[in-house]
Structure 1
Amino acid sequence: MSRNRLFRRLLFTNIAIILLTMSILSVLFYIMFENYYFRDKEKIMVEEGKQINTVLNDYLIGDIDIDRLNQDLNVIDRLINASIWVVSTDGRIYIQSKNFEKNWTGVTLSKDDIKSILKGETIVRRGYFGGRFTQPVLTVGFPLVLAGKIQGAIFMHAPIVEMQKTLMDIFFIMLLAIAISIIIAFILISYTSKRISNPLKEMSIATEKMAKGDFSTKINVVDDDEIGDLAKSFNIMSSELGRMDNARKEFVANVSHELRSPLSTIQGYIDGVVDGTIPAEKSKFYLEIAQKETRRMSRLISELLDITKMESGAFPLNISEFDINELIRLTIIKMEARISDKDLMVKVDFESDKEIVEADKDKIEQVLTNLIDNAIKFSNPGGYIHISTEKVKEKVHVKVQNKGKTIPPDEIDHIWDRFYKVDKARSGSPGVGLGLYIVRSIINLHNEDIWATSSDADGTTFTFTLRAKKVKQ
């Protein structure tokens, strides 16, 4: 149930916003329409009042009789649904239309009711007109002008109840429209909220599985938006974490094997020497084997320590200026025995006799040792290794190339990964896939680049860059 919290929050928040917005708009619209409706009614009553004035003038000059006058007033009465009073200057009602249950003829109004009108003003009031009506009315009063002079007043009273009923009908339609809109909005927002919350819920479930070591869960990417991008990134992260977890497990297994195997060998040989199983004359031979295994374990532990230092930032660089060509020569001499054992020829191609670079000499020697060692391992017996340096702008490019079994294209991007081995069986190498990871880490610490290419025609080539010594102008 708790996994639907985001969905419910999105749904109710959006519905609340829509409901609040539509309620405010409805109230504003009702007020605006009410004002418009009353203003329009007032305008109509004023226009009809002018017509009443004309009819009264016709009656005064004798164009129509009293019956025609009453008939015309009653027509206007029914047309605008308003009762009509004709009032003299002293406030006495002497004519009224028939739209009244009570007879107001002869009733005298107060001076306050007509004094503004007798000054030529038009009045508009809402209410009970001084308590004379039991229901609220809209009253419009204006001067009665006969023969060019103000001779009284004309009052028109329209029941507000009828107008309010019309407004309430409109308001009911608005409420119905709001209800329908909310239902439609509920459906649409439910759909869009699920489109947003479902991937996040899937990510939450997948995260819990990942915490337990299950990296196989993938998020279904539906939309090409921010949520879709997040789902894609999550899937990439899951794949990478799964790959790293597999590499870690493989690393633990490999290291365990690499340590257990030489330890078993060393223990067996030493036990044999101690208990006399191995004759004294052969003890030196077996102790030398144990010594080699000890050195191999020492190298493995040293590589692991280097990785730990690099990952913790405790791997400082001691930058100096040195001749990279000379360092390559010394590294080749150091590995001459291994090169001879495989009957390899080393071809060195330097663009210039000296190539001064700025780097950590010891760590670059470690890079060269690793790369040349790899070239020896994977070269065909009787083949060759080609090492070259070339200055390109402000960089020196160092290349180590060998002919032998190539790296598959789909694996070449992974050779730099920690614990990764391209082909565990291709060389019989006892390594655990740490060398190239260390090489790339050292080059990256120098803020330089390293890359590899591999093809049947050209073999495998590793290239890295170093900063060339700046020439003083």
Structure 2
Amino acid sequence: MKARLSFKFLFSYLLLGFASFLTVTSVGSYMMEYHLEKLISRQLYQSAHNIAENELVKKNISSTNIDSIRDDILLAAGNSSSVIWIINSNGKIILSSRKDRLSDNPIDFSSFDPASWGSNYYQIGDFYGYFDDTRLSTIAPITDNMVTKGYVAIHYLMSDLYQRRGGLLLIVQILFFIIYIIFGILLIFFRYHISKPLRQITDGVSEFTNGNLSYRIPVSSDDEMGYLSQSLNYMADKLNRNGEYQRQFISNISHDFRSPLTSIKGYVEAMLDGTIPVEMQEKYLKIISFEADRLEKLTRGLLTLNELDIQKRMLNIQKFDINAVIKTTAASFEGSCTTRNILLELILSGRELYVRADMEQIQQVLYNLLNNAIKFSPDNSTITIETTERNDKIFVSVKDHGIGIPKSSIHKIWERFYKIDTSRGKDQKGTGLGLAIVKEIINAHGQNINVISTEGVGSNFVFTLEKVK
């Protein structure tokens, strides 16, 4: 990968952290300043209003004994940086919480409109040029009998507000860095538990793409990554097995086709160049016919299996009497059985026994099983075909007393082209596809087939069908 996912996440993490820090600092600073401004202005106005409502202030604002309430004013001021003024109706400051802020110049209130100051009656500035620094100022009128006798003004240093804002902002920034570090730890966790397994899975897919299907992705966790890696490993294993099967399949086809074709080609060339005299050609033409018959059977079997593979057998499911099909199929072997004095014994459950399946395909299953039983049974023996009912299933068995199947070969007999070595002498025209076709047809019906066999005693093939209710 040119751009690794972990690098993208790291870059995004750093970029997001930088952008978030700028946002928290700028927007947070503005919001905190706005909040403190509103909060302090309300507190100052409330203090100013309380002073203006004080009876001592109302009684002494017009007297020369105004200094008698200085202690009350200083107590109300609280914060040394806040300045409280008592202003008479002429705009003259007659009392200040700080003596250095007294002025002989009266304040011009001709343009003073409390409503223009906002709902909290405050403004930020130098208060009509009286201060050298920026203050948050609020005014409350002193009224007595509906007559304005003066004003209470409180001035708060904006530098103190900025200092409080900075303290709060520092706390927010510290919390931001703590959260940012926590997310950094989560990013490391992500890299170890997600990015690394994902890279291993990607490497595994690359190995599979390059044909290394024996490679195994080393991710064994119990989460989605582990499940994905197990699925990919399973897929690769299946593909590898299919590849092996295809190679073996082609090898078997080549072997089974090459042998009869070599015989046919050799005998034909021998007859053409005169190596085989005319009077002996009939013998070798029969051999050619025999080999051609083998090729025809092999081709027909391959076509049947191809249809089963491609269509998964589009079965023509219908209701039919399995007993009647068994009788018809057994009758087709009457000639070969009579020649070898083999008895076909039918033990059928009831006169009629209806099943639901594809009649033609089940007839082929019976034909292949009977054909095998007859091939590998000795002369003067008995082959038993039996049907039984059990629950909702019909069991059909084909039992012979032939050479049997070696224990080591029982699990291989369903493979295509597989032949037991001892059977080659018995059935030189066999293709090794008969039982593979049987297995495919039964599986397509969703049913089961099993075999019980003892070498030298015989074999019993049993398959199931759906019983018509």
Report the TM-score range of the alignment, normalised by the length of the smaller protein.
Answer: 0.7 to 0.9
Q: Secondary structure, in 3 states, of the residue corresponding to 1:143?
A: strand
Q: Secondary structure, in 3 states, of the residue corresponding to 2:250?
A: helix
Matched, 1:81 2:78: no
Would the alpha carbon gap of residues 301 and 141 (structure 1) be closer, same or farther in structure 2, given more than 3 Å must change? same
Which residue number in structure 1 is paired with residue 327 of structure 2?
Answer: 329
Structure 1 residue 252: Cα displacement? 0.8
Structure 1 residue 432: Cα displacement? 6.6
Which residue number in structure 2 is paired with residue 224 of structure 1?
Answer: 222
Structure 1 residue 246: Cα displacement? 0.7
The answer for unaligned runs of 5 or more in structure 2 is none
CA–CA distance in structure 1, aligned partners of residues 198 and 131 of structure 2: 66
Q: Secondary structure, in 3 states, of the residue corresponding to 2:236?
A: helix
Which residue number in structure 1 is paired with residue 289 of structure 2?
Answer: 291
Which of 176, 181, 186 aligns to 2:179? It is 181
Q: Deviations over 1:413-463 (max 9, x none)?
A: x8767x485x86474477676444433444566xx2221335579965441
Which residue number in structure 2 is paired with residue 156 of structure 1?
Answer: 154
Q: Secondary structure, in 3 states, of the residue corresponding to 1:178?
A: helix
Contact 2:315/2:358 (<8 A) preserved:
yes
Contact 1:83/1:98 (<8 A) preserved:
yes
Which residue number in structure 2 is paired with residue 354 of structure 1?
Answer: 352
Q: Deviations over 1:37-94 (max 9, x none)?
A: 33442344345436645877179579x9766644554454452631111111232222
Q: Secondary structure, in 3 states, of the residue corresponding to 1:79?
A: coil
Tell me whether 364-373 or 292-301 shows the greater mean CA deviation. Answer: 364-373
CA–CA distance in structure 2, aligned partners of residues 128 and 378 of structure 1: 118
Would the alpha carbon gap of residues 97 and 29 (structure 1) be closer, same or farther in structure 2, given more than 3 Å must change? same
Which of 119, 129, 139 aligns to 2:137? It is 139
Which residue number in structure 2 is paired with residue 110 of structure 1?
Answer: 109
Which of 383, 386, 389 aligns to 2:387? It is 389
Which residue number in structure 2 is paired with residue 451 of structure 1?
Answer: 448
CA–CA distance in structure 2, aligned partners of residues 255 and 208 of structure 1: 33
Q: Deviations over 1:318-358 (max 9, x none)?
A: 66765432332333344467778999765432112233556
Matched, 1:96 2:96: yes
Contact 2:49/2:152 (<8 A) preserved:
no
Q: Secondary structure, in 3 states, of the residue corresponding to 1:156?
A: strand
Structure 1 residue 255: Cα displacement? 0.8
TM-score if structure 2 supplies the norm length?
A: 0.76
Which of 153, 165, 190 aligns to 1:192? It is 190
CA–CA distance in structure 1, aligned partners of residues 320 and 109 of structure 2: 117
Which residue number in structure 2 is paired with residue 258 of structure 1?
Answer: 256
Tell me whether 374-383 or 157-166 shows the greater mean CA deviation. Answer: 374-383
CA–CA distance in structure 1, aligned partners of residues 84 and 60 of structure 2: 21
CA–CA distance in structure 2, aligned partners of residues 361 and 96 of structure 1: 115
Contact 1:128/1:137 (<8 A) preserved:
yes
CA–CA distance in structure 2, aligned partners of residues 23 and 232 of structure 1: 45
Q: Secondary structure, in 3 states, of the residue corresponding to 1:219?
A: coil
- Residues 24-39 of structure 1 mapped to structure 2, 5 A cutoff: 30=29, 33-39=32-38
Tell me whether 103-112 or 161-170 shows the greater mean CA deviation. Answer: 103-112
CA–CA distance in structure 2, aligned partners of residues 432 and 322 of structure 1: 30
Which of 243, 246, 256 aligns to 1:245? It is 243
Contact 2:86/2:153 (<8 A) preserved:
yes
Would the alpha carbon gap of residues 433 and 249 (structure 1) be closer, same or farther in structure 2, given more than 3 Å must change? farther
Would the alpha carbon gap of residues 85 and 319 (structure 1) be closer, same or farther in structure 2, given more than 3 Å must change? closer
Contact 2:51/2:57 (<8 A) preserved:
no
Tell me whether 24-33 or 289-298 shows the greater mean CA deviation. Answer: 24-33
Which residue number in structure 1 is paired with residue 405 of structure 2?
Answer: 405
Which residue number in structure 2 is paired with residue 304 of structure 1?
Answer: 302
Q: Deviations over 1:223-245 (max 9, x none)?
A: 32333322222122111111111
Q: Secondary structure, in 3 states, of the residue corresponding to 1:142?
A: strand
Q: Secondary structure, in 3 states, of the residue corresponding to 1:369?
A: helix
Structure 1 residue 378: Cα displacement? 7.2
CA–CA distance in structure 1, aligned partners of residues 127 and 432 of structure 2: 101
Contact 2:93/2:102 (<8 A) preserved:
no
Q: Deviations over 1:300-333 (max 9, x none)?
A: 2112222333444497656676543233233334
TM-score if structure 1 supplies the norm length?
A: 0.76
Contact 1:251/1:432 (<8 A) preserved:
no
Aligned residue identity for 1:237: M
CA–CA distance in structure 1, aligned partners of residues 16 and 341 of structure 2: 81
The answer for unaligned runs of 5 or more in structure 1 is none
Contact 1:303/1:434 (<8 A) preserved:
yes
Q: Deviations over 1:380-434 (max 9, x none)?
A: 999865433345677654344567337779x85x8767x485x864744776764
Q: Secondary structure, in 3 states, of the residue corresponding to 1:453?
A: strand
CA–CA distance in structure 2, aligned partners of residues 456 and 310 of structure 1: 27
Contact 1:324/1:354 (<8 A) preserved:
yes
Structure 1 residue 115: Cα displacement? 5.9
CA–CA distance in structure 2, aligned partners of residues 378 and 188 of structure 1: 70
Aligned-pair Cα RMSD in Å: 4.6
CA–CA distance in structure 2, aligned partners of residues 364 and 193 of structure 1: 58
Aligned residue identity for 1:94: I
- Residues 58-73 of structure 1 mapped to structure 2, 5 A cutoff: 60=59, 69-73=69-73
Contact 1:70/1:97 (<8 A) preserved:
yes
Would the alpha carbon gap of residues 315 and 455 (structure 1) be closer, same or farther in structure 2, given more than 3 Å must change? closer
Would the alpha carbon gap of residues 67 and 197 (structure 1) be closer, same or farther in structure 2, given more than 3 Å must change? same
Q: Count the aligned residue pairs.
A: 457
Q: Deviations over 1:253-312 (max 9, x none)?
A: 111111112222333344455556567776555443433322222122112222333444
CA–CA distance in structure 1, aligned partners of residues 460 and 6 of structure 2: 54
